[in-house]
Structure 1
Amino acid sequence: MPQISVDYSPELAGAFDRRELGLAINRLTVETINATPEACKTVFREVQDFVVGASAGPDVQVYVEFQIFPGRTPEAKAALSDAVQALLAERVVPAPGTRLFTAVTVTDVDRDSYRSATIGG
Structure 2
Amino acid sequence: MPQITVDYSHPVEDAFDFGGFARELHEAAAEIAAAKPEACKTLFRPTDYCAFGYEDPRAGGHAIVHVTFGLLAGRSDETKERLTQAALELLRKYVEPEDGVVLHASAEVRDLDASYRKYDG
Output the amino acid matched with 2:103.
Answer: L
CA drift at 1:55: 2.1
> Any unmatched runs of 5+ in structure 2?
none
Q: Structure 1: give runs of 5+ residues left out of the alignment.
A: none
Counterparts of residues 47-62 of structure 1 (less than 5 Å): 47-56=47-56, 57=59, 58-62=61-65
* Partner residue in 1 for 2:95: 92
Question: Residue 118 of structure 1 aligns with which residue?
Answer: 120
Q: TM-score, normalised by structure 2?
A: 0.92
Tell me if the contact between 2:22 and 2:42 (Cα under 8 Å) persists in the aligned partners.
yes
Q: Deviations over 1:15-67 (max 9, x none)?
A: 02212211111111111111111111101111121111112351101110001
Partners of 1:61 and 1:70 lie apart in 2 by 27
Q: Please give the residue correspondences for 1:26-45 in structure 2 after superposition, counting only pairs within 5 Å.
A: 26-45=26-45
Judge conservation of contact 2:20–2:94 (CA < 8 Å) in 1: no
Distance in 1, Cα, partners of 2:69 & 2:47: 17
Larger fraction in helix: 2
Moved over 3 A (4+): none
What TM-score do the two structures reach when normalised by structure 1?
Answer: 0.92
CA–CA separation in structure 1 for the residues paired with 2:11 and 2:102 = 11
Task: Please give the secondary structure, in 1, of the residue aligned with 2:7.
Answer: strand
In structure 2, how many angstroms separate the alpha carbons of the residues matched to 1:115 and 1:94?
36
